[in-house]
Copies of this chain bind each other. A is one copy, B any other.
Amino acid sequence: MKIGNLAHLTGLSVHTIRYYEKIGLLPDASRDAGGRRQYGMEIANWLTFLKHLKATGMGISGMVRYAQLRAEGPQTAAARRQMLEDQRRTVQQQIDALQATLPVLDNKIEIYKDMEKAHVMEADHARDTNTIPRIQQPDKRS
Protein backbone atom coordinates (compact mmCIF):
# COMPACT_ATOMS: atom_id res chain seq x y z
CA MET A 1 0.00 0.00 0.00
CA LYS A 2 1.30 3.47 -0.91
CA ILE A 3 1.07 6.47 1.35
CA GLY A 4 -1.89 8.05 -0.46
CA ASN A 5 -3.84 4.88 -0.08
CA LEU A 6 -3.03 4.68 3.62
CA ALA A 7 -4.01 8.32 3.99
CA HIS A 8 -7.35 7.63 2.37
CA LEU A 9 -7.88 4.57 4.51
CA THR A 10 -7.15 6.28 7.80
CA GLY A 11 -8.54 9.70 7.05
CA LEU A 12 -5.19 11.32 7.76
CA SER A 13 -3.36 13.44 5.22
CA VAL A 14 -0.24 12.27 3.45
CA HIS A 15 1.55 15.16 5.09
CA THR A 16 0.43 14.04 8.51
CA ILE A 17 1.56 10.47 7.97
CA ARG A 18 5.04 11.58 6.98
CA TYR A 19 5.03 13.93 9.96
CA TYR A 20 4.08 11.05 12.26
CA GLU A 21 6.94 9.01 10.89
CA LYS A 22 9.36 11.87 11.41
CA ILE A 23 8.45 12.31 15.06
CA GLY A 24 8.62 8.60 15.80
CA LEU A 25 4.96 7.63 15.92
CA LEU A 26 5.38 5.35 12.93
CA PRO A 27 8.25 3.01 12.10
CA ASP A 28 10.42 4.14 9.20
CA ALA A 29 8.49 2.67 6.30
CA SER A 30 10.09 0.21 3.94
CA ARG A 31 10.49 1.55 0.42
CA ASP A 32 9.76 0.19 -3.04
CA ALA A 33 12.18 0.33 -5.98
CA GLY A 34 11.45 3.99 -6.54
CA GLY A 35 12.02 4.97 -2.92
CA ARG A 36 8.32 5.24 -2.12
CA ARG A 37 6.94 4.18 1.23
CA GLN A 38 5.26 0.78 1.30
CA TYR A 39 2.73 -0.02 4.02
CA GLY A 40 0.90 -3.09 5.22
CA MET A 41 -2.41 -3.31 7.03
CA GLU A 42 -0.80 -3.36 10.47
CA ILE A 43 0.18 0.27 10.04
CA ALA A 44 -3.43 1.15 9.38
CA ASN A 45 -4.36 -0.59 12.63
CA TRP A 46 -1.67 1.22 14.54
CA LEU A 47 -2.80 4.57 13.11
CA THR A 48 -6.35 3.75 14.10
CA PHE A 49 -5.22 3.08 17.64
CA LEU A 50 -3.30 6.36 17.62
CA LYS A 51 -6.46 8.12 16.51
CA HIS A 52 -8.25 6.62 19.48
CA LEU A 53 -5.51 7.81 21.82
CA LYS A 54 -5.72 11.24 20.26
CA ALA A 55 -9.47 11.21 20.81
CA THR A 56 -8.81 10.74 24.52
CA GLY A 57 -6.95 14.03 24.50
CA MET A 58 -3.50 12.50 24.65
CA GLY A 59 -0.97 14.78 23.01
CA ILE A 60 1.77 13.92 20.58
CA SER A 61 4.38 13.67 23.31
CA GLY A 62 2.30 11.12 25.20
CA MET A 63 1.73 9.06 22.10
CA VAL A 64 5.44 9.13 21.32
CA ARG A 65 6.23 7.95 24.83
CA TYR A 66 3.74 5.14 24.41
CA ALA A 67 5.23 4.18 21.04
CA GLN A 68 8.71 4.12 22.52
CA LEU A 69 7.65 1.91 25.40
CA ARG A 70 6.08 -0.35 22.85
CA ALA A 71 9.33 -0.49 20.93
CA GLU A 72 11.17 -1.59 24.05
CA GLY A 73 9.26 -4.83 24.16
CA PRO A 74 7.00 -6.81 26.45
CA GLN A 75 8.80 -5.84 29.65
CA THR A 76 7.17 -2.39 29.36
CA ALA A 77 3.65 -3.82 29.35
CA ALA A 78 3.01 -2.66 32.90
CA ALA A 79 4.20 0.85 32.13
CA ARG A 80 1.95 1.04 29.09
CA ARG A 81 -1.01 -0.27 31.04
CA GLN A 82 -0.27 2.42 33.60
CA MET A 83 -0.32 5.08 30.88
CA LEU A 84 -3.65 3.85 29.59
CA GLU A 85 -5.13 3.73 33.07
CA ASP A 86 -3.94 7.27 33.73
CA GLN A 87 -5.42 8.35 30.44
CA ARG A 88 -8.69 6.66 31.30
CA ARG A 89 -8.83 8.77 34.41
CA THR A 90 -8.21 12.00 32.50
CA VAL A 91 -10.90 11.03 30.00
CA GLN A 92 -13.34 10.62 32.84
CA GLN A 93 -12.32 14.01 34.19
CA GLN A 94 -12.85 15.61 30.81
CA ILE A 95 -16.29 14.05 30.60
CA ASP A 96 -17.15 15.34 34.05
CA ALA A 97 -15.94 18.83 33.18
CA LEU A 98 -18.05 18.89 30.04
CA GLN A 99 -21.08 17.52 31.88
CA ALA A 100 -20.71 20.32 34.37
CA THR A 101 -21.04 22.94 31.65
CA LEU A 102 -24.42 21.67 30.50
CA PRO A 103 -26.45 23.15 33.36
CA VAL A 104 -24.63 26.46 32.92
CA LEU A 105 -25.61 26.54 29.26
CA ASP A 106 -29.14 25.43 29.98
CA ASN A 107 -29.51 28.11 32.57
CA LYS A 108 -28.38 30.82 30.19
CA ILE A 109 -30.59 29.48 27.44
CA GLU A 110 -33.58 29.76 29.74
CA ILE A 111 -32.64 33.31 30.62
CA TYR A 112 -32.49 34.18 26.93
CA LYS A 113 -35.87 32.61 26.33
CA ASP A 114 -37.32 34.89 29.00
CA MET A 115 -35.49 37.84 27.52
CA GLU A 116 -36.87 37.14 24.09
CA LYS A 117 -40.36 37.02 25.51
CA ALA A 118 -39.81 40.28 27.34
CA HIS A 119 -38.37 41.85 24.22
CA VAL A 120 -41.39 40.88 22.20
CA MET A 121 -43.52 42.50 24.87
CA GLU A 122 -41.50 45.69 24.35
CA ALA A 123 -40.34 45.59 27.93
CA ASP A 124 -36.94 44.96 26.50
CA HIS A 125 -34.70 47.22 28.45
CA ALA A 126 -31.74 46.28 30.63
CA ARG A 127 -32.71 42.80 31.61
CA ASP A 128 -29.93 41.57 29.38
CA THR A 129 -27.25 42.45 31.86
CA ASN A 130 -27.59 39.99 34.68
CA THR A 131 -24.47 41.29 36.45
CA ILE A 132 -22.44 40.95 33.28
CA PRO A 133 -21.16 44.15 31.70
CA ARG A 134 -21.89 45.19 28.16
CA ILE A 135 -18.95 45.45 25.82
CA GLN A 136 -18.89 48.31 23.38
CA GLN A 137 -18.36 46.64 20.04
CA PRO A 138 -15.18 47.69 18.20
CA ASP A 139 -17.44 49.24 15.57
CA LYS A 140 -16.44 46.95 12.74
CA ARG A 141 -19.66 47.47 10.86
CA SER A 142 -18.48 48.42 7.42
Contacts and interface: CB of A to CB of B under 8 A. Distances in A.
B88 A109 contact: yes
B81 A109 contact: yes
Contact of A84 (B81, B95, B100, B108): B108
B88 A102 contact: yes
Nearest to A21: B135
A59 interface: no
A98 interface: yes
Interface in A88-121: 88, 91-92, 94-95, 97-102, 104-106, 108-109, 112-113, 115-116, 118-119
Given A27-B136, A116-B78, A135-B27, A128 B73 contact: yes
Measured as residues with beta carbon below 8 angstroms from the partner, the interface class of chain A is: 35 or more
Copies of the protein in its oligomer? 2
A55 interface: yes
Contacts of A32: none
A26 B135 contact: yes
Name the 7 nearest CB pairs between A and B, nearest first: A81-B112, A71-B137, A77-B115, A71-B135, A46-B132, A27-B135, A56-B101
